[in-house]
Amino acid sequence: MRFFNTEGPIRPEDHYHLPPLSRWDLDAILTLIDQKKYFLLHAPRQTGKTSCLLALMEHLNREGRYRAVYANLEIAQTAREDVPRAMRAVCGTIAAAARLYIGDDRLFDWNEIALATRGADGMLGSLLETWSQQSPQPLVLLLDEVDALVGDTLITLLRQLRAGYIQRPHAFPQTVILCGVRDLRDYRIHASSESEPITGGSAFNIKAKSLRLGDFDADEVLRLLLEHTNETGQVFTPEALDRVWELTLGQPWLVNALAYRACFELREGRDRSRPITLDLIERAKESMIVERVTHLDQLAHKLQEPRVRRIIEPMLAGSALGEAPEDDRDYLLDLGLLRRDGSGGLVIANPIYREVLPRALASGPQDSLPAINPSWLAPDGSLDAERLLDAFLDFWRQHGEPLLKSAPYHEIAPHLVLMAFLHRVTNGTGSLEREYAIGSGRMDLCLRYGGLTLGIELKVWRDGRPDPLDDGLKQLDAYLAGLGLDSGWLVIFDRRSGQPPIEERTTSLEQQTPAGRRVTLIRA
């Protein structure tokens, strides 16, 4: 039985899949190859790049006009800037790939000759020159994980390809496709041999195109999910189908992971006589986030990088990006953390990532929380909003100040501590949803626990700015209207300098929004 794939390239006999060559413009690719172009394929991790390259190699070899070989260069990453060691690894990988995919064993002997005659800085060029001259058809070389190489190793690879370019196709490959996460123009290569970083574009100025492999569209998500229905007879309810698209916006790994968990891991989902429902999709999503599965954990790890923080921190705070460098913005787009919306503005790529990022940042404060008696629960086990308010105010007065230091992003430390507290409240029984956007000036939270839904708006009062109360009441009005609620919380964190201690300035009182909704105003 086939299943949804979340590890490595697809195997058609094992995995539900979309034909890889349908995911890009094959005619345009073949035209570039016919024109002897060198070009780049890039996309975020686990979007299907390797599957597309392998499918292209098989297509070209089956057609017979070219000899195509795919090689993954990641093995050379451990060599770092040890160029002789790295070039032996690169050339050895290409030789092994030629033997595996087209049955050509000669490259191993040519490698030794190339190293002896041209040295490490010319070994790759010599190998490709000899191979091209001895090949009955022009060569097409597909090099994956190129951006795993670093420093002088990456520079020498790019420059050897550039040096041999004018000899194509008789004494160098007809086409070389470089594949990685980032667009080559965005490479900043820090090499020990250079005083300044070298840009990928200057080291490889023969690149004709940079192609980006996109996410699935809504129709492709539907086609993939229906592969399961066609094979097993198990249907997805219309609400479940819509929710997979809404949560993932077509990110290929997320689509496969959600569907795999719902259909193959959850007990109810494994019963093929039962449909895959909206509830199963929601449970699959929540378990993926809580467990920080590998793909999501890799993204969360990126939050520690300064160039990621420079973008994500103001986004979470609802602030403008200010002087965020273009390189930083492009980096997050290449990682797939961000996308551009219909107006061209930057937003988090999909709702699952939007949930993962603040939750990952709140994990430090959450781990630092003291033991808290769940005084917010009524005798029947339901959540009592009045008791929750009292519990939060008591918690904040006692523990807010020291816990702010455990938050990794200083600008949104109060948000993260509050979220950590609310996660302790939900404790696997309820849920906490977040909304935030550049320039909104706020973060919105929606706490759901049993029959209670609580809308919360967070604002920050900073030096030199007016009291955000009026804006907060207006914004909360719109948020509560969207949730269908008549009441909620407005939390204003006073971050101005020279303020009294937290325990003295933390208060609550009742307010009304312009539309007459009842608001509990918390000043903290």
User: What residue ranges define each of the domains in the chain, with the CATH number in brackets?
Assistant: 20-212 (3.40.50.300), 218-291 (1.10.8), 364-523 (no CATH)
- Please report, to the nearest 10 degrees, the dihedral formed by the alpha carbons of residues 371, 376, 380, 384 taken in order: -160
Residue holding tokens 């309810």?
A: 237
The predicted pLDDT at position 277 comes to 98
3-state secondary structure of 103: coil
**C-alpha 183: how far from its chain's center?**
16
Q: Where are the alpha helices (DSSP H) in 460-505?
A: 469-483, 502-505
**How far apart are the C-alpha atoms of 252 and 217, rounded to whole Å?**
10
The predicted pLDDT at position 201 comes to 55
**CB of 340 within 8 A of CB of 333?**
yes
* Assigned token pair, 324: 């965020």
Minimal CA–CA distance to 91: which of 133, 49, 68, 119?
Answer: 119
Instruction: Walk along the chain (524 residues) and give the pLDDT tens digit of each residue.
Output: 899 999 999 999 999 999 999 999 999 999 999 999 999 999 998 899 999 999 999 999 999 999 999 999 999 999 988 999 999 999 999 999 999 999 999 999 999 999 999 999 999 999 999 999 999 999 999 999 998 898 889 989 999 999 999 999 999 999 999 999 888 665 655 556 555 555 555 556 777 788 999 999 999 999 999 999 999 999 999 999 999 999 999 999 999 999 999 999 999 999 999 999 999 999 999 899 888 777 888 888 889 899 899 999 988 888 888 778 888 898 899 889 999 988 888 999 999 999 888 888 888 888 888 888 899 999 999 999 999 999 999 999 999 888 888 888 888 999 999 999 999 999 878 888 888 877 777 889 999 999 999 999 999 998 999 999 999 999 999 999 999 999 999 999 999 998 888 888 899 999 999 999 999 999 99
Q: DSSP letter string over 496-517?
A: -TTPPPHHHH-EEEEEE-TT--
CA atoms within 13 A on the CB side of 425: 30
The DSSP 8-state label assigned to residue 384 in this structure reads: P
Minimal CA–CA distance to 433: which of 491, 518, 354, 337?
Answer: 354
The predicted pLDDT at position 343 comes to 81
**How far apart are the C-alpha atoms of 210 and 436, rounded to whole Å?**
32
Task: Report CA torsion sign: 317, 322, 325, 326.
Answer: positive
pTM of the full predicted structure? 0.88
Residue holding tokens 């008791």?
A: 387
CB atoms inside a 10 Å sphere around CB 450: 12
The predicted pLDDT at position 197 comes to 58
First to last CA, the chain: 56
